Structure 1
Amino acid sequence: MKNPIKEFFRKRAEKKARIKSKLDSVINEYNSLINEYRLIQEKKSELPFAQRQFVVARVLYLIKKGHIQVNS
């Protein structure tokens, strides 16, 4: 017989772990985008033109949405 209280807290812990891992991956992705954006602004980026345009557009979109802040 399952204890409903223990089951509730087990599910809650699993959900928190999933959310934390997703948040960490998003933060890492945003940090890499910001770093590449800085390289593009300094004209030191190794990316092809199309990928540079994608990075710039993505960063500008995230800034407009308020997800990130870039102090240049």
Structure 2
Amino acid sequence: MLVLTRKLNETIQIGEDIEIKVVDIDGDQIKLGISAPKHIEIHRKEIYLAIQEENSRAASVSNDLLKILKKD
């Protein structure tokens, strides 16, 4: 893991296409602005994990449904 220190309005560049900027600092919270191409999905980690879980459940239901349909 790379750990960087940034101050207000300073940025981090990832590759050519992604820029992360510290836009606000309020006590123990910071606000980050992320500029990236539209085809790159950006989510908070808890949202990303929820999407993965939902996709897993949907795939499981599809497999179960296929098995049921195959029996007939």
Please give the TM-score of this superposition, normalised by the length of structure 1. 0.42
Structure with more relative contact order (C-alpha pairs < 8 Å, separation 6 or more): 1
State the TM-score, normalizing by the size of structure 2: 0.42
More strand by share: 2
Larger-Rg structure? 2
Structure with the higher fraction of residues in helix conformation: 1
